[in-house]
Amino acid sequence: MPKSKSYKLVAEPADLPPEADQAHRFEKARTAQATALLEDYAELISDLIGTEGEARPTDIARRLGVSHATAIKSIARLKREGLATSKLYRGVFLTPAGEMLARRARARHRLVVDLLVAVGVPQEAAEVDAEGIEHHVSDETLRAFATYLGRA
Amino acid sequence: MPKSKSYKLVAEPADLPPEADQAHRFEKARTAQATALLEDYAELISDLIGTEGEARPTDIARRLGVSHATAIKSIARLKREGLATSKLYRGVFLTPAGEMLARRARARHRLVVDLLVAVGVPQEAAEVDAEGIEHHVSDETLRAFATYLGRA
DNA sequence: TTCGATTTGTAGCCTCGGCTACAATTAGGC
DNA sequence: GCCTAATTGTAGCCGAGGCTACAAATCGAA
Ligand SMILES: [Mn+2]
Ligand SMILES: [Mn+2]
Ligand SMILES: [Mn+2]
Ligand SMILES: [Mn+2]
């Protein structure tokens, strides 16, 4: 992950050229996309461990609909970023950081599906669309969803 | 149960293994992501032509927050896919297919922002998040949004 | 225990979308 | 009209995330 200047706490000057705003939005979307894969893997690994007792690369690959080679390479990225570990022929595990990411991803995923259904989106469409939408929902937006659903 | 008469590409037998559903959702999200860049460019080019009279690569790059080399390369992809044309030093234009894509992208973008605001998301957060969310909103979900907003 | 099937890992290829550096073209001020 | 600045385009690099093909390790049934 490219260092991502995390100046989220810094107030953003209101006197920037107008197109800078737009550029900043696109940049946020690109950043979100860069973490989407990590979030999906973390959530899935956590699910598999919970339901199957273990998360094997082959199962991960089948659930994601990618080749096992692709899954293994992505798992390598998770390890590189300190989110997962794995022992040869013994499955993949999440580090504390990975667990935390998985928990938040799962909670957000559920909230997004519930919000969509609450505003009238059919269940199956909500499930499908949420898989992509979830990665672009900020904490602020998530709080608004929770409030709307009466779970503030 | 998993119905939704799909396109000719993927035949969906009703008795698929349960994890195939999940794989299919992930695949949809990946497909949506593959077209996200095209949609953003088409929408932006259309906007620039509308407000500035022309869409020059440099302006496109600045609005997107990427280098002009990146923008030019992406514009090449739009041309390759029949969505845009350009004359040397004379800006970028949209083909009819590109215009159509831009129109739909803009309408969807607006509906997504409006939906977010309607459920209580602050305006600025809605604008930011919509830039990513929009690409994962299916037609079915979009219709539900329109209905919710009373624009059925 | 042995041996074939499954699982896991590696190697190499591809496209995409970032970037910088540099080259060429055009536009504009003087 | 000339020269500089801006714009546009090209070349080459990179990492991410797809893929297939092949190799190695493990598992499990006979
Ligand atoms: Mn997802
Ligand atoms: Mn998810
Ligand atoms: Mn967008
Ligand atoms: Mn948009």
Q: Please state the length of chain A.
A: 152
Q: Residue with structure tokens 């390598």?
A: A76
What's the pLDDT band for B2 if we cut at 50, 70, 90? very low
Query: Which residues surround strand C, with CB < 7 Å?
Result: A 30, 56-59, 68-69, 72-73, 75, 86, 88-89, 91; B 34, 37, 64-67, 69-70, 73-74, 77, 88-89
Cross-strand bridge partners of residue B86:
B92
Dihedral sign for Cα B142, A141, A134, A112, please: negative
Within 132-151 of B, beta carbons closer than 8 Å to A belong to 132-133, 135-138, 140-141, 144-145, 147-148
* Whether the Cβ atoms of residue B62 and residue B81 lie closer than 8 Å to each other: no
Q: Is B10 on the interface with A (CB under 8 A)?
A: no
Predicted local confidence at residue A14, as pLDDT: 53
- pLDDT score, position A4: 38
Q: Is B68 in the A-facing interface, judged by CB distances under 8 Å?
A: no
Q: What is the per-residue pLDDT across B75-134, written as a single tens digit (0 to 9) for each? A: 999 999 999 999 888 899 999 999 999 999 999 999 999 999 999 999 999 999 999 999
Using the predicted structure, report yes or no on whether residue A12 has a pLDDT greater than 70.
no
Count of residues making up chain B: 152
Q: What is the pLDDT of residue B3?
A: 34
Q: What's the rounded mean pLDDT across residues A114-127? A: 98
Q: How far is the CA of B89 from the C1' of D3 (A)?
A: 20
Alpha carbon of B131 to ligand 1 centroid (Å):
16
Using the structure block, give the residue that is written with the tokens 């080679």.
A69
Q: Burial, A45: exposed, middle or buried (Cβ in 10 Å; 0-12, 13-18, 19+)?
A: buried
Region A1-30 average pLDDT:
65
pTM above 0.85, yes or no: yes
3-state class of A84 per DSSP?
A: strand
Nearby residues of B49 by Cβ (< 8 Å), 6 or more positions away? B55, B91, B93, B94
Please tell me what DSSP assigns to residue B94: E
What CATH number has the domain spanning A35-148?
A: 1.10.10.10
